[in-house]
């Protein structure tokens, strides 16, 4: 009998491990941001906040080729365990820096946390197609993304609450990250065994050379390449929206850290539910017709956030809406990357995808910096700019992949019947 995914013990352990990792990423990043807000002035924050995002994602660009090699060379489950152990070491380092009140040195801890996540990611997303049937991939990815973004909700909310409660004792707040990392090590041991690693996997010190070789492999499959590029744009949207939200709460909404945590939680819940709904609508196949509609409504939500988000209720509604439609946009793309990546080089392909995602996020932080400092926009104006940029990118996607608009029309006709 075919058991539902959520009832399989190994998959449950995988979801728990992923949940705790995403929780720690967002909890730690938020308390670092809130700590900086309590210590720095407005001008310093306009530089520090984009830096927090950049320092977290830069390791994806620097380390992804090595992470891909390890994910191909060794069993995915073993990599999950190793990277969770690495997370504990990083969190202990962060705990010490909070104790020292080292606001700028905490950027180094964010860099190391990003490196840990960079090595974890190819193993995480390579684990799914190795342990699930192909027909289960959409729902499996939907559940994984839902779990991940619920963790983002809880981590963001908890980060805001802890920052408010323990604002005079930041070391205690950081201690919770150590506990979560230790529990994550335990859950990783209960995940399912995966395929043995490939002893023939090629290691290269030059990450650019590795990525170029992988890109040549991916370039033979236009759908795979397009899926990876479009997926990287999702991370551009997510990074710019998340990083800009902290400034809008501080400078325009006049809200507390708890309000920021709640808004980030609304985005995370929206993305998780959007991915889950997208998986259900896919009906055990990849539904490319969801990509463009999801993207259009994501853009409109960003524009509405910028024009009407000064009211707190509206900010919650549009944050959740943007997350929901972004999740619908993203799930077919991530599933397509998993399905079409060659099995023997899946780790390297996913690692290249991480590097591309990193470039997208770094571009997002540069965009935020430019709109704030060069164009003199407020945070609300940055959201409007994000919506306009998204519409332009979707127009390019429609021209580059005429099958996407056609599949969207077919999906609409099926729904109307």
Query: In which domain, by residue range, is 152 found?
Result: 8-193+221-416
What are the angstrom distances between the C-alpha of 121 and each of 88, 111, 194, 240? 16, 15, 15, 21
In the structure, what pLDDT confidence band is assigned to residue 167 with cuts at 50, 70 and 90? Answer: low
Position 28 in a domain: yes
Query: Whose structure tokens read 């099995």?
Result: 343
DSSP single-letter state for residue 216: H
The structure's pTM equals 0.73
State what percent of residues in the chain have pLDDT above 90. Answer: 29
Position 33 in a domain: yes
Q: Is the pLDDT of residue 1 over 60?
A: no
Average pLDDT over residues 160-185: 83
Helices (H) and strands (E) in the chain, counts: 14, 0
Give the span between the Cα atoms of 388 and 374, in whole angstroms.
18
Any idea what the CATH number is for the domain that residue 21 is in? 1.20.1250.20
Position 200 in a domain: no
Position 203 in a domain: no
Per the structure, the count of domains in the chain is 1
Position 212 in a domain: no
Position 338 in a domain: yes
Q: Is the pLDDT of residue 199 over 90?
A: no
The answer to whether the beta carbons of residues 185 and 84 sit under 8 Å apart is yes
Position 162 in a domain: yes
pLDDT tens for each residue of 321-330: 999 999 999 9
Position 207 in a domain: no
pLDDT tens for each residue of 128-147: 888 887 777 777 877 887 78
Which tokens go with 372?
């704030």
pLDDT tens for each residue of 70-114: 888 888 889 999 999 999 999 999 999 998 888 889 999 999 998
């Amino acid at each position: 009998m075919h058991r539902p995914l959520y009832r399989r013990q190994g998959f449950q352990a995988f979801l728990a491990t992923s949940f705790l990792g995403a929780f720690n990423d967002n909890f730690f990043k938020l308390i670092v941001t809130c700590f900086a807000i309590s210590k720095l002035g407005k001008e310093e924050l306009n530089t520090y906040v984009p830096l927090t995002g950049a320092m977290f994602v830069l390791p994806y660009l620097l380390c992804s080729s090595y992470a891909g090699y390890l994910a191909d060379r060794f069993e995915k489950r073993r990599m999950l365990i190793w990277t969770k152990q690495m997370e504990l070491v990083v969190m202990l380092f962060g705990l010490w820096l909070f104790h020292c009140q080292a606001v700028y040195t905490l950027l180094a801890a964010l860099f190391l946390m990003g490196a840990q996540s960079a090595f974890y990611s190819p193993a995480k997303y390579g684990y799914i197609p190795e342990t699930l049937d192909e027909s289960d991939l959409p729902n499996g990815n939907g559940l994984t993304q839902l779990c991940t973004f619920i963790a983002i909700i809880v981590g963001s909310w908890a980060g805001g609450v802890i920052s408010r409660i323990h604002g005079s004792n930041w070391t205690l707040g950081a201690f919770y990250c150590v506990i979560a990392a230790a529990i994550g090590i335990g859950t990783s041991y209960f995940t399912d065994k995966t395929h043995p690693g490939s002893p023939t996997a090629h290691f290269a010190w030059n990450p650019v050379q590795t990525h170029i070789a992988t890109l040549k492999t991916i370039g033979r499959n236009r759908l795979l390449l397009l899926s990876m590029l479009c997926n990287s744009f999702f991370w551009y949207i997510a990074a710019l929206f998340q990083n800009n939200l902290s400034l809008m709460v501080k400078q325009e909404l006049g809200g507390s850290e708890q309000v920021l945590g709640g808004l980030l939680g609304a985005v995370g819940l929206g993305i998780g539910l959007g991915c889950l709904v997208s998986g259900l609508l896919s009906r055990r196949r990849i539904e490319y017709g969801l990509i463009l509609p999801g993207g259009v409504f994501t853009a409109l939500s960003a524009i509405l956030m910028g024009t009407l988000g000064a009211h707190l209720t509206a900010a919650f509604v549009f944050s959740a809406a943007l997350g929901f439609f972004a999740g619908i946009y993203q799930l077919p793309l991530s599933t397509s990357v998993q399905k079409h990546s060659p099995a023997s080089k899946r780790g390297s392909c996913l690692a290249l995808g991480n590097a591309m995602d990193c470039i997208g996020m770094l571009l997002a932080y540069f965009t935020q910096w430019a709109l704030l400092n060069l164009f003199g926009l407020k945070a609300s104006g940055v959201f409007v700019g994000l919506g306009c940029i998204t519409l332009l990118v979707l127009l390019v996607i429609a021209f580059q992949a005429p099958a996407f608009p056609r599949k969207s029309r077919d999906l609409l006709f099926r729904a109307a019947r």
